Structure 1
Amino acid sequence: MSRTSARHRHGFFLVLVLVVVAVATMAVYSFTELMLAADETAYLQGDLVQARLNVDTGVETVRLVLASPPADRDEMGGVYENASLFRSIAITNELDGPVQRFSVIAPGISDTGSLGGIRFGLQDESARINVNALLVLEENSDAIGMLTTLSGGSAAADGILGDAISGGSGATSGSDETLDAENIAVELLLTLPGMDEAIADAILDWIDEDSEPRAMGCEDEYYSSLSTPYACPNEPLKSVEELLLVRGVTPQLLFGADTNRNGVLDLDEQQRTAASIDTSGALGWAAYLTVHGGENNKTAAGDPRVNINGEDLEVLYDELLTALGDETFASFIVAYRMYGKSSIENSTALLAANALSGGDEVSDEADSASESEKELWSVDVMEDVDLTAGPAVEINQVLDLIDAEVTIGDGEEAVVYMSPFISDPTLMSEYLPLLMDQLSTQDVDVLPGRINLNEAPAEILAGISLVDADTMAAILEARNASGAGAGAYGSGSATDRTHETWPLTEGIVSLDQMRALMPLVTAGGDVFRAQVIGFDETTGLAARGEAIIDATTVNPRVVAYRDLTHLGRGFEISVLRGY
């Protein structure tokens, strides 16, 4: 009996050893699994770092491209849509392992002129409304209003471009009010889907320098009464997202259904929000607004433009000869500075005379002379001109030179000379691109951001009330016929639309209408937005970032950067690869 019990006790140790071995095995297995997971995490983290470096490489590549003058970019294929520069660009080669790549994607423009689809290229910030520049429009409202009146501008507020912006404007539908140039800043904002005058006034109150609220706006009195009070800064916006602090602005209004911020409405976003690309405000205001934007006051070759308002006319004459290569053109411009009449002064006289005559058409004093008493300008006239006398007139815009006149002499000896710049569309298509490229009326390095006629969506063009609705619709139709961005640098189009005066040279607008548009529109800016996706073509692991690059300096600089990796890749690998 006792021997059997002893044998049983000896067998118990065997079981105990087996249990210990099993537990130790499980511990080793768990530790191994943990180490493998840590190893995979380390590799994954390294791959993610590589993906972010791919994005950084893409941003630096864009900076390098933008360091070239527009003419050189044109030879490379431009930056609007250029797959060879911006689609699936290899950073490493196959010998170094999986190929690392980056793509640069921007929202496209649909056939109706609205945002839709994608393209491989950069987005010009001038294709958006620069919120910080709206106050400049208000400050110059008198001059803009004068030009608008002469051009027959203003349009009904209920949908300036018809179907292209159906339901998109925040202006009251069916209103009999007109878009007044004095309120151009508000009217530009009102074209945004879901915008109303109260929010527009609140936005302008947020960025203006005074503490007086507009009619429907608000200042510190409102913001200090909130449960979490804060001050109204009364200074320019630092980012579009800052608008979320403005009364009435919500995340839904600002960002719409574009939850991953890739600039397009993806299928899952459409299903989740029951929205489509045709839904008003689907992409939010952020797709139409910016706080950056500017234009280099330089030629396409990257040289400074000639300031035709220079004080030393002898120096100006030499500069014009070099830039234009035409003595007749150069001599007339300096003669106009001495003997011409300011366009603003001329416009004031015309408006006053028109008001006194009860609206009948009137002409200025120079037009009273018959054409037979006028002579076409000749460089020979310069023999009687003393450039050391200095200028008497400042030119408001380059278009002032077209159909201008100068009167040399007094009394019966006075002779009226007509400009060599004649307002014939065929002739203008020859000389106007040269004038717009080489000349400027301001001695500044950078011009404030205006709206890009070649790339701005129809919703933004709807807010430009400086011409009538039919004219703006014709501009949009002409642009859409050859595609947005066509005619700009690198588009490959035969049509020269590298300057904002292309609607004039193509006969779409009159000279007066173009004068009214000039303060607000451009054909291209020099601040660009790049959405860069860096990815591993084998694993599909990706990082995404959005950079705003200011190319108005010698070395383009990143003025804003946002890491969007946490919002997902944004696009399928097949889209990024391009195959």
Structure 2
Amino acid sequence: MNPRSRHNKSCINRHSVAGAMRRASVLVVVLVVVMLLTLGCYTFTQIMLSELEATVAYERDVRSRAYADSGIEMVAAVLGEATDEFSRPNLYDNPDLFYLLMADSETARGRGAFCIVAARENDTGANPIRFGLIDESSKLNLNTLLSLSSTDEEQEEPAGGADSNEEQQQDMLMAIPNMTADIADAILDWLDEDELPRLSGAENEYYGTLSPPYETKNGQLESLDELLRVRGVTSSMLYGEDVNRNGLLDANENDGDVSLPYDNADGVLDRGWSTYFTVVSREANLRADRELRIDVNQDDLVALYDAIEEEFGSDEALFVTAFRLNGPDGDPDSGQGPAAPTGRGGGGGQASGGGGGGSQTASGGESRGGLNLSGSGSTQITSLYELLGSTVTADVDGQQKTIESPWQDEPGDIESYLPTLLDKLSTSSEEFIEGRINIAQAPREVLLAIPDIDEQVVEAIIGAQAAGDSSAFDSGGPRSTTGWLLNEGLVELEEMRTLDRYMTSRGDVYRVQSVGYFEAGGPATRLEAIIDATQDPPKIVSIRDLTDLGIGYGLQPQQSEQTEP
């Protein structure tokens, strides 16, 4: 073979090898590209799956918030539904009403619900939660504290310089755990309108020395958090150990210094003053059907007689107007009694109130039932219990008559007529009655703050709260009014007349904790709202999101099966 041929063959071999090498390089590049594309697809898939999970989680979070919001709206609707005294349902513990399945599903993950939940304040048993509302009237209203004072007209100023009203106001605060005389006086000074500090109090002279300085409110509180500006008040006093605001003793609230909050590990939850104080409690001064009550202290006695006669009858109208004219027999303040004629002229009619038509007396004044009603009445009724079992002496048709109360103070009678009496009559024409304490739900400490109440009565009330069915306190139940204290022999009638101005059987402003969640876990929302049912329709005053504090309650999935969606 000549040299040229060998050269050509060598060149061909080299070109073949180079071509093969180039083809192998393309394969490697293709493999790398495929690998990168696969990795990209995998990454994209993972991102999309993460986005899907995030979207589902967000959707479930939104749904849990909607469930919790629905719970609050449902409560407002329930409070606005009652049209008569016996139609309002059990609001204290009613799982059939306040535990509702909102979204049904074959799997627990898809089932969503809301519940209206609260802690049982006086129950340390195996079932510490209840499904119901918190009546703000079960707490001591700081904004009405200055008006909740003794009705005694003659008050002597003690040697220390504080009058008896100030002492009584301080005593009411001192019934609350962890309260001191210094802090009690400082709170009262923060509320009262003057600039004079109480014996252990603080006014602007003290707050002006702080850095930065500020002034006392000298008026009503808008929220309990304002107490943190009062000298000596701390957040631990106000909220205690209950950091998640559920009213239950959780593990981290009973482990000493191991975890926050730092506590004394005594096995008892310090709920703080927020359990005992409020600034919003009140009742609508309306009948259960939202009509105006009859003000027994109105100046127009003719209108009073006519209104009571229409609702109750002529006997009741005669007694109440005669009571207003002369006061009860045996009352030294009324200046009247069997031996002290009123001297008021009479007209037509009978002592029993027969004949409700109006007429003119001999002196020209208008009369009803034989009573001269031209005046405005010399006696103010401070409690409707004054009408029970009383007698009144009055001039009826020109003759001195003793009129017995149509509402006798026999236990069986009291239970039958008292709900209607308290529903239709009032001692005031004010739109609202503020600050009275709901004895059906108030804790022992708040009950002890009621002026002039005996500790044995407090223990009896607490025993009644804990015993039996809570429906006893429902509308129409045997304890639906404060009169059960009298009916069950816990207090005497005279004592009831004194205590009545401080007590009620139900308020109209409620605190609500609504939890929206899914049975299999996942996002949950806990909201706290204040609902004012004195308005028509009821008004949602405020909503606070407590979700960051946790669900707060160990809710069991099977509980939602108690109600239908």
TM-score normalised to structure 2 length: 0.80
2:338, 2:402 within 8 Å by CA — same for their partners in 1?
Answer: no
**Residue 196 (structure 2) pairs with residue 207 (structure 1):** no
Deviation at 1:541, TM superposition (A): 2.4
Distance 2:166 2:351 in 1: 38
Match of 2:353 among 379, 382, 385: 379
Distance 2:197 2:204 in 1: 9
Deviation at 1:51, TM superposition (A): 0.9
Match of 2:117 in 1: 105
1:211, 1:220 within 8 Å by CA — same for their partners in 2?
Answer: yes
Give SS of 2:92's match.
Answer: coil
Deviation at 1:528, TM superposition (A): 0.9
Deviation at 1:127, TM superposition (A): 0.6
Match of 2:56 among 25, 29, 43: 43
Match of 1:442 in 2: 428
**Residue 244 (structure 2) pairs with residue 260 (structure 1):** yes
Deviation at 1:456, TM superposition (A): 0.4
Q: How many residues align?
A: 513
The structure with the largest helix share of the pair is 1
Match of 1:331 in 2: 318
Distance 1:253 1:347 in 2: 47
Distance 1:535 1:461 in 2: 36
**Residue 450 (structure 2) pairs with residue 467 (structure 1):** no
Match of 1:408 in 2: 394
Distance 1:578 1:463 in 2: 39
2:319, 2:404 within 8 Å by CA — same for their partners in 1?
Answer: no
**Residue 91 (structure 2) pairs with residue 79 (structure 1):** yes
Match of 1:455 among 417, 441, 445: 441
TM-score normalised to structure 1 length: 0.78
Match of 2:548 in 1: 566
Deviation at 1:571, TM superposition (A): 1.7
Match of 2:485 among 503, 514, 518: 503
Spell out, residue by residue over 1:500-532, the C-alpha distance to the aligned partner (whole angstroms, 9 max, x if none).
232122221112211221121111101111110
Cα separation, partners in 2 of 1:184 and 1:117, compared to 1, 3 Å: farther
Distance 1:377 1:256 in 2: 61
Match of 1:241 in 2: 225
Cα separation, partners in 2 of 1:513 and 1:8, compared to 1, 3 Å: farther
**Residue 141 (structure 2) pairs with residue 143 (structure 1):** no
Q: Which amino acid aligns with 2:320?
A: I
Distance 1:555 1:258 in 2: 33
**Residue 378 (structure 2) pairs with residue 366 (structure 1):** no
Q: Which amino acid aligns with 1:207?
A: L
Distance 1:233 1:576 in 2: 49
Spell out, residue by residue over 1:89-146, the C-alpha distance to the aligned partner (whole angstroms, 9 max, x if none).
122344999333110012214359x999211111111011112111222xxx341587
Distance 1:478 1:44 in 2: 46
1:115, 1:457 within 8 Å by CA — same for their partners in 2?
Answer: no
- Structure with larger RCO (C-alpha < 8 A, sep 6+): 1
Match of 1:122 in 2: 133
Match of 1:217 in 2: 201
Spell out, residue by residue over 1:523-563, the C-alpha distance to the aligned partner (whole angstroms, 9 max, x if none).
11011111100112344421110111000011001112111
Deviation at 1:23, TM superposition (A): 5.7
Q: Which amino acid aligns with 2:386?
A: D
Match of 1:62 among 75, 78, 82: 75
Distance 2:92 2:464 in 1: 18
Q: Which amino acid aligns with 1:526?
A: D
Deviation at 1:318, TM superposition (A): 2.1
Cα separation, partners in 2 of 1:146 and 1:322, compared to 1, 3 Å: farther
Match of 1:319 in 2: 307
1:103, 1:576 within 8 Å by CA — same for their partners in 2?
Answer: no
Cα separation, partners in 2 of 1:116 and 1:181, compared to 1, 3 Å: farther
**Residue 327 (structure 2) pairs with residue 340 (structure 1):** yes
Distance 2:351 2:293 in 1: 24
Match of 2:472 in 1: 487
Match of 1:34 in 2: 47
Cα separation, partners in 2 of 1:308 and 1:115, compared to 1, 3 Å: farther
Spell out, residue by residue over 1:303-326, the C-alpha distance to the aligned partner (whole angstroms, 9 max, x if none).
3211112233232222112222x3
RMSD between aligned alpha carbons?
Answer: 3.8
Q: Which amino acid aligns with 1:339?
A: N
Cα separation, partners in 2 of 1:366 and 1:23, compared to 1, 3 Å: same
Match of 2:175 in 1: 191
Distance 1:419 1:115 in 2: 48
Q: Which amino acid aligns with 2:405?
A: S
Give SS of 2:120's match.
Answer: strand
Q: Which amino acid aligns with 1:488?
A: F
Cα separation, partners in 2 of 1:365 and 1:306, compared to 1, 3 Å: closer
Distance 1:228 1:8 in 2: 87
Match of 2:288 in 1: 300
1:107, 1:116 within 8 Å by CA — same for their partners in 2?
Answer: no
Distance 2:376 2:465 in 1: 43
Spell out, residue by residue over 1:18-54, the C-alpha distance to the aligned partner (whole angstroms, 9 max, x if none).
6676566545544443343233222211211111111
Give SS of 1:487's match.
Answer: helix
Distance 1:115 1:330 in 2: 52
Deviation at 1:486, TM superposition (A): 4.5
Give SS of 2:423's match.
Answer: helix
Match of 1:372 in 2: none
Distance 1:278 1:314 in 2: 62
Give SS of 2:199's match.
Answer: coil
Q: Which amino acid aligns with 1:197?
A: A
Structure 1: gaps (5+ residues): 148-178, 350-363, 370-375
Give SS of 2:110's match.
Answer: coil
2:532, 2:539 within 8 Å by CA — same for their partners in 1?
Answer: yes
Which deviates more, 9-18 or 544-553?
9-18
Cα separation, partners in 2 of 1:195 and 1:462, compared to 1, 3 Å: same
Distance 2:44 2:552 in 1: 37
Give SS of 1:253's match.
Answer: helix
**Residue 121 (structure 2) pairs with residue 134 (structure 1):** no
Q: Which amino acid aligns with 1:378?
A: S
Cα separation, partners in 2 of 1:426 and 1:261, compared to 1, 3 Å: same
Q: Identity across aligned pairs (percent)?
A: 36
Structure 2: gaps (5+ residues): 1-10, 156-162, 341-349, 356-367
